[in-house]
Every structure is written in structure tokens, then in C-alpha cells.
């Protein structure tokens, strides 16, 4: 599927590497190489191990608990942006922190909007999410965002 005119790379953090590997395999391309580990104090340590300059990059990473999944995504996005990727699409199979998508009572955050802002500021040019908790979350992003559904596939599988 990769062409010399529109080369792509797929990266993943630790949260769902098997899914990213399956997607890359389906597309007939190798999974992008990134070292994701820990510093001695427990902080996330990340390094993109290959050249991504001018490439269209897709990062497959959910943002559900633990919070390290979200932080890995943000750090991956930042590293890819600083490495001069042409475009960066965050593919988020599970969008964590989506339950606070509106203020029910005073002094409550809108966590879903905060996470959308973080993903944008970290370097994503586009977001693809699967079955967001609430449809309005798609509008929280200041970049193109697609909310895909997997309900049909689940229903067919169950039948």
C-alpha cells in the first residue's frame, strides 16, 4: 500500500502494539520503530528510531487508563512533529477521559476538551476515534476529527 509518492508509517506506544502490528501487516508495511521505555525515575522515555521527515505518519494509541497511555501518545506526537513528519494522524481506538464531556455541576472540568487540546498541541494534524462516548467530543478538536463506529462489525461478529 505504501507508494513512493505518499509514503506512510504507523507507530504505536505500549498500549495496543498488537493492533498497530496487525494494521501495518494488513497494509504490507513494517511498523515504525520507536523506543518507548522508562527513565530510572519512572518517567516515559521515547525516541523515534528512524527517519520520518516528509512522511505521513499514523499513531495508533488509546488514551484510556492508566494515564501513561495518554502521555505516551502526547510524547509520540511531539517527537514525530519535531522529526519533521509531513502529517500526523492520531488513531485512537478508545478515547479516554471522555466521560466528562460537559459540566453537570459547577467547578467540574470538561476533561474531553482538555484531552482534545493536548492532542492538538502535541502535534496531531488529524484525529480518528472509534465510537466516542458522546458525539459532541468530535467538535472539541480544533483539527479535523473523525468519529468512526465499529458497531456494525461487532454486530456481525456476534451473529
Sequence spans of domains, the chain: 8-158
- β-sheet bridge partners, residue 126: 89
Q: Is the predicted pLDDT of residue 86 greater than 60, yes or no?
A: yes
For residue 13, pLDDT beyond 90: yes
Please tell me the pTM assigned to this model: 0.92
Which of the four pLDDT bands, split at 50, 70 and 90, describes residue 137? very high
25 near 46, Cβ under 8 Å? no
Please report which residue ranges of 16-136 form alpha helices under DSSP H: 17-27, 67-82, 111-122
Residues 74-98 as b or e (16 or more Cβ within 10 Å = b): bbbbbbbbebebeebbbbbbbbbbb
> What is the Cα–Cα distance from 55 to 86, expressed in whole angstroms?
5
* pLDDT value of position 84: 98
Cell of 131: 465510537
| pLDDT average, residue stretch 78-89 | 98
Q: What is the pLDDT of residue 82?
A: 98
Residue with cell 509531513: 86
What is d(CA 28, CA 14) in angstroms, rounded to the nearest whole number?
21
Omega within 30 of 0 (cis) for the link into 143: no
Mean pLDDT across the chain, nearest whole number? Answer: 94
pLDDT surpassing 80 at residue 2: no
Instruction: Read off the pLDDT of residues 109-129 as tens digits, 9 standing for 90 and up.
Output: 999 999 999 999 999 999 999
d(CA 37, CA 3): 31
Beta-bridge mates of residue 9: 57
- 155 sits in the region (left: phi over 0; alpha: psi -120 to 50; else beta) called alpha
Give me the architecture of the 8-158 domain, per CATH: 3-Layer(aba) Sandwich (3.40)
Q: Which of 29-33, 81-85, 149-153 has the lowest mean pLDDT?
A: 149-153
Amino acid at each position: 500500500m505504501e507508494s513512493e509518492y505518499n509514503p506512510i508509517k504507523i507507530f504505536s506506544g505500549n498500549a495496543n502494539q498488537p493492533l498497530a502490528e496487525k494494521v501495518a501487516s494488513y497494509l504490507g508495511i513494517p511498523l515504525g520503530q520507536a523506543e518507548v521505555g522508562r527513565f530510572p525515575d519512572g518517567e516515559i522515555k521515547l525516541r523515534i528510531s528512524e527517519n520520518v521527515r516528509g512522511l505521513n505518519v499514523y499513531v495508533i494509541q488509546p488514551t484510556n487508563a492508566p494515564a501513561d497511555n495518554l502521555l505516551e501518545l502526547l510524547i509520540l506526537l511531539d517527537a514525530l512533529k519535531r522529526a519533521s513528519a509531513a502529517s500526523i494522524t492520531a488513531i485512537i481506538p478508545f478515547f479516554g477521559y471522555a466521560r466528562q464531556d460537559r459540566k453537570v455541576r459547577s467547578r467540574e472540568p470538561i476533561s474531553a476538551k482538555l484531552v482534545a487540546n493536548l492532542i492538538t498541541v502535541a502535534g496531531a494534524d488529524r484525529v480518528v476515534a472509534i465510537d466516542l462516548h458522546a458525539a459532541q467530543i468530535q467538535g472539541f478538536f480544533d483539527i479535523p476529527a473523525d468519529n468512526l463506529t465499529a458497531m456494525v462489525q461487532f454486530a456481525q461478529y456476534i451473529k
